[in-house]
């Protein structure tokens, strides 16, 4: 049974699966995958929880690194695809804020899923609860100045120069974004909201980076360098 709460994911699932393929979309393939893999490989992680796993692509990447994975996502159609591609995988229907895992995971991952969560505080609390003492929370997220420009983002000024407009940065809000047959609800929040929630759980920040594109379309890369889409954070739960 799907947990469709009107956020667009159920209706957009088929287009999302096509968009991602096995290699991922632009951001995953050319910006985030390499640094995300670098944070999981060769570090002795045994088991990982992927929160908002979608069609399971990053679960499969972690498995290739020798990590046992559990994926959680609220969209049944995406989980059906995950199970088709990984019949032996552990994929569970559910929302992040309602997860009930004990503190047993070495690694918890949110790969571009925090922006989809309406109840962020509860979701982060459940992620932290799932981590064993000393465990790692690895996050890839859209930058807050990027989400503050949604849904229009890039626009041309009166001289025809492409500009990125940001407004109402401090106002948390849901924003509908559309591209290539996908129409989903994202959440804009200032960076301080994320940082405060994570710090309030006593986590220690070990990494904060804004990755550069590696390969990909030069024009799109140029826009990314002007207004980066993504940042990555790694937090550690105290032992």
Q: Tens digits of per-residue pLDDT, 106-120?
A: 999 999 999 999 999
pLDDT at 5 over 60: no
Counting Cβ atoms within 10 Å, is residue 59 exposed (0-12), middle (13-18) or buried (19+)? buried
Q: pLDDT tens-digit profile of 157-204? A: 999 999 999 999 999 999 999 999 999 999 999 999 999 999 999 999
Distance CA 237, CA 71 (A): 20
Please check whether residue 34 lies inside any domain of the structure.
yes
Residue range of the domain that includes 208: 9-143+191-236
The whole-model pTM stands at 0.95
Please check whether residue 228 lies inside any domain of the structure.
yes
Give the residue among 238, 221, 234 at the shortest CA–CA distance from 31: 221
Please check whether residue 161 lies inside any domain of the structure.
no
Please check whether residue 2 lies inside any domain of the structure.
no
Please check whether residue 183 lies inside any domain of the structure.
no
Tally of domains within the chain: 1
Please check whether residue 150 lies inside any domain of the structure.
no
Flag the least confident range among 3-7, 99-103, 180-184.
3-7
Q: Which CATH number fits the domain that encloses residue 137?
A: 3.40.50.150
Please check whether residue 4 lies inside any domain of the structure.
no
Distance CA 129, CA 237 (A): 10
> What integer pLDDT is reported at residue 55 of this predicted model?
97
Cα dist from 65 to 36, 117, 232, whole Å: 12, 27, 19
Please check whether residue 102 lies inside any domain of the structure.
yes
């Amino acid at each position: 049974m799907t947990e469709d709460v009107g956020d667009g994911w159920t209706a957009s699932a088929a287009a999302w699966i096509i968009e991602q393929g096995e290699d991922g979309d632009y951001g995953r393939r050319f910006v985030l995958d390499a640094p995300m893999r670098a944070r999981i490989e060769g570090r002795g992680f045994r088991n990982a929880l992927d929160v908002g796993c979608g069609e399971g692509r990053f679960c499969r990447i972690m498995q290739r690194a020798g990590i046992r994975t559990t994926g959680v996502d609220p969209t049944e159609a995406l989980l059906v695809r995950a199970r088709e591609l990984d019949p032996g995988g552990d994929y569970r229907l559910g929302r992040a804020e309602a997860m009930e895992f004990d503190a047993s995971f070495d690694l918890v991952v949110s790969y571009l899923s925090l922006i989809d969560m309406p109840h962020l505080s509860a979701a982060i609390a459940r992620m932290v609860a799932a981590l064993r003492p000393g465990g790692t929370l690895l996050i890839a997220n859209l930058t807050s100045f990027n989400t503050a420009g949604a849904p229009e983002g890039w626009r041309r000024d009166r001289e025809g120069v492409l500009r990125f407009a940001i407004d109402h940065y401090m106002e948390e809000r849901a924003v509908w974004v559309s591209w290539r047959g996908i129409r989903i609800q994202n959440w804009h929040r200032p960076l301080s909201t994320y940082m405060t929630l994570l710090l309030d759980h006593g986590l220690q920040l070990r990494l904060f980076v804004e990755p550069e594109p590696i390969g990909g379309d030069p024009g799109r890369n140029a826009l990314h360098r002007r207004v980066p889409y993504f940042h990555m954070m790694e937090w550690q739960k105290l032992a």
